């Protein structure tokens, strides 16, 4: 298994970028001056962040004034603060219906929809928001930044344009530099990505997110010693940072210093045993270091929280296979492969299928071997190992012609690199010839 630091450890997730700290403006300032005492009380409750009181007051006010957009927005703002997504959505939509050109509810609703995974709807609201007037340029910049994150995967050029508009309205932030770097990396413009990361580090020395991103880039450029120096310096300032620790572990692994990586991650894991990312990282390191007995219980613990995670199941199955726990490995890998499309990468699914074939072969379940190899072949070409497994499976099922053909293919592909299996294949070919 190749050690990989998961991208999620290196980038700001959309939910964090789009998170609405309740309200996008000073909600108490959007009220129309009136003699209604409920308005004054609601404004005071909002200023004091007394959301239960504000909710009651604003509910009463919106019943009295059902077409007043600022009041409806304020109610949505309160519901957002109370983590009532459905209530906030309804209030923001009513505010927009009352005044389609009122900026705050478009932004707030767009951010809420993005946070809850409704990306298409979020994009529509944010596109509308940036066309509307607002007295606070920083809020419009926020809408552009949220759009940039939404566009990042599907339309990188649009994401770059969104970010440029945001930078016209407010200064560059760490998240902006990270996005510039990520977009450049996606376009394989690594010098631009490196420059973006280094530029922001001049003003945010040791920032964990940017430092980890730059180190990850340096690793891809085969500059591991530079990455190690960079990360070591940042960790001196942020010794408990999980992202930096994870990236330094990846750097150690790339430098064939897996024991050092294990020591680093194990120390932090001991301090944060409930951190599943650290647990998974430590398990991967143990697997990479040929210590499946230490990896397996960590995977088992993770599976208690995520029993249907096919990637975890595949990792656990591989550890069980290394421990020669063949029945357990076959059961675990079979469970993982019930959802082949759920794997992060097709190649990971193919590796799990080959491991299942190995486990089933040891368990003398030849039909399972062939089923697993058929699944593997949908992703990867035949390898000497898969040819040999298929040949022995057909052989045990008395499929003489298929077995003979596959033994011959294996011998050609092996080319002297697998002497034990080649000896067996040669002798089985002779036996199969004599059995005709």
- The C-alpha atoms of residue 22 and residue 19 are separated, in whole angstroms, by 9
Q: Count structural domains, the chain.
A: 1
- The C-alpha atoms of residue 282 and residue 269 are separated, in whole angstroms, by 8
Identify whether 71 is part of a domain: yes
The whole model's pTM is what?
A: 0.66
Please report, for the domain that includes residue 124, its CATH number. 1.25.40.10
- The C-alpha atoms of residue 413 and residue 311 are separated, in whole angstroms, by 30
pLDDT of residue 3: 23
Do residues 58 and 74 lie in contact, with contact meaning Cβ atoms separated by under 8 Å? yes
Of the CA atoms within 13 Å of residue 79, those in its CB half-sphere come to 22
Q: What is the pLDDT of residues 136-190, one digit of tens each?
A: 999 999 999 999 999 998 899 999 999 999 999 999 888 998 899 999 988 889 9
Q: What is the pLDDT of residues 212-226, one digit of tens each?
A: 999 999 999 999 999
Identify whether 255 is part of a domain: no
CB-neighbour burial class of residue 66 (10 A; exposed 0-12, middle 13-18, buried 19+): exposed
Of the CA atoms within 13 Å of residue 132, those in its CB half-sphere come to 19
Task: State the residue for tokens 């009463």.
Answer: 60
Q: What b-and-e string marks burial along 370-407, b requiring 16 or more CB atoms within 10 Å of the CB?
A: bbbbebbeebeeeebbbbbbbbbbbbeeebeebbbebb
- The C-alpha atoms of residue 143 and residue 120 are separated, in whole angstroms, by 15
pLDDT tens, residue order, the chain (436 aa):
322 222 222 222 222 222 333 334 444 444 444 478 999 999 999 999 999 999 999 999 999 999 999 999 999 999 999 999 999 999 999 999 999 999 999 999 999 999 999 999 999 999 999 999 998 999 999 999 999 999 998 899 999 999 999 999 999 888 998 899 999 988 889 999 999 999 989 988 889 999 999 999 999 999 999 999 999 999 999 988 888 998 999 999 999 999 999 999 999 899 899 999 899 999 999 999 999 999 999 999 999 999 999 999 999 999 999 999 999 999 999 999 999 999 989 999 999 999 999 999 999 999 999 999 999 999 999 999 999 999 999 999 999 999 999 999 999 999 999 999 999 999 999 988 877 6
178 Cβ neighbours under 8 A, 6+ residues apart: 11, 12, 197, 200, 209, 210, 213
Q: What is the pLDDT of residues 7-66, one digit of tens each?
A: 222 222 222 222 333 334 444 444 444 478 999 999 999 999 999 999 999 999 999 999
Do residues 270 and 298 lie in contact, with contact meaning Cβ atoms separated by under 8 Å? no
pLDDT of residue 206: 87
Identify whether 376 is part of a domain: no
Identify whether 306 is part of a domain: no
Identify whether 280 is part of a domain: no
Distances (CA, A) of 263 to 5, 239, 246, 269, 291: 16, 14, 12, 10, 14
Q: Which range marks the domain in which residue 135 is found?
A: 1-171
Identify whether 77 is part of a domain: yes
Residue 380, both tokens: 């990867």
Do residues 65 and 32 lie in contact, with contact meaning Cβ atoms separated by under 8 Å? no
Task: State the residue for tokens 């596959």.
Answer: 406
Residue 334, both tokens: 């079979």
Identify whether 22 is part of a domain: yes
pLDDT of residue 303: 96
Identify whether 187 is part of a domain: no
Do residues 353 and 376 lie in contact, with contact meaning Cβ atoms separated by under 8 Å? yes
Angle 371-314-330 (CA atoms, 0-180°, nearest 5)? 50
Residue 409, both tokens: 């293919």
């Amino acid at each position: 298994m190749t050690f990989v630091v998961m991208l999620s450890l290196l980038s700001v997730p959309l939910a964090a970028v789009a998170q609405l700290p309740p309200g996008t403006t000073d909600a108490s300032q959007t009220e129309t001056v009136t003699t209604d005492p409920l308005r004054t009380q609601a404004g005071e409750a909002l200023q004091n962040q007394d959301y239960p009181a504000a909710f009651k007051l604003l509910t009463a006010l919106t019943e009295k004034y059902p077409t007043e957009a600022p009041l409806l927005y304020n109610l949505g703002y309160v519901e957002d603060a109370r983590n009532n997504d459905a209530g906030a959505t309804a209030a923001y939509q009513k505010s927009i219906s009352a005044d389609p050109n009122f900026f705050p509810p478009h932004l707030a609703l767009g951010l809420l929809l993005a946070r809850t995974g409704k990306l298409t709807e979020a994009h529509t609201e944010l596109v509308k928001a940036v066309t509307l007037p607002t007295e606070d340029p920083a809020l419009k910049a926020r809408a552009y930044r949220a759009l940039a994150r939404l566009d990042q995967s599907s339309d990188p050029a649009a994401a770059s344009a969104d970010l440029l508009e945001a930078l016209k309205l407010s200064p560059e932030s760490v998240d902006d530099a990270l996005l510039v770097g990520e977009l450049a990396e996606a376009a394989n413009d690594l010098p631009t990505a490196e420059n973006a990361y280094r530029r922001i580090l001049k003003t945010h020395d040791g920032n964990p997110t940017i430092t980890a991103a730059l180190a990850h880039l340096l690793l891809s450029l085969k500059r591991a010693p530079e990455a190690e120096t960079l990360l070591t310096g940042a960790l001196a300032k942020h010794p408990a940072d999980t992202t930096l620790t994870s990236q330094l572990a990846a750097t150690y692994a790339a430098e064939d210093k897996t024991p050092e990586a294990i020591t680093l991650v194990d120390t932090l894991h001991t301090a944060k045993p409930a951190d599943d990312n650290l647990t998974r990282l430590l398990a991967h390191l143990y697997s990479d270091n040929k210590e499946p007995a230490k990896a397996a219980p960590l995977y088992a613990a993770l599976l208690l929280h995520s029993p249907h995670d096919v990637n975890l199941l595949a990792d656990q199955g591989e550890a069980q296979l290394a421990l020669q726990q063949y029945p357990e490995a076959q059961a675990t890998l079979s469970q993982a492969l019930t959802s082949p499309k759920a794997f992060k990468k097709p190649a990971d699914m193919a590796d799990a299928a080959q491991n299942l074939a190995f486990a089933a072969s040891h368990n003398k379940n030849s039909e399972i071997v062939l089923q697993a190899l058929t699944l593997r072949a949908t992703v990867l070409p035949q390898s000497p190992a898969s040819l040999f497994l298929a040949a022995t499976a057909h052989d045990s099922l008395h499929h003489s012609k298929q077995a003979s053909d596959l033994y011959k293919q294996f011998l050609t592909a092996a080319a002297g690199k697998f002497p034990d299996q080649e000896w067996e294949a040669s002798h089985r070919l002779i036996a199969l010839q004599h059995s005709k």
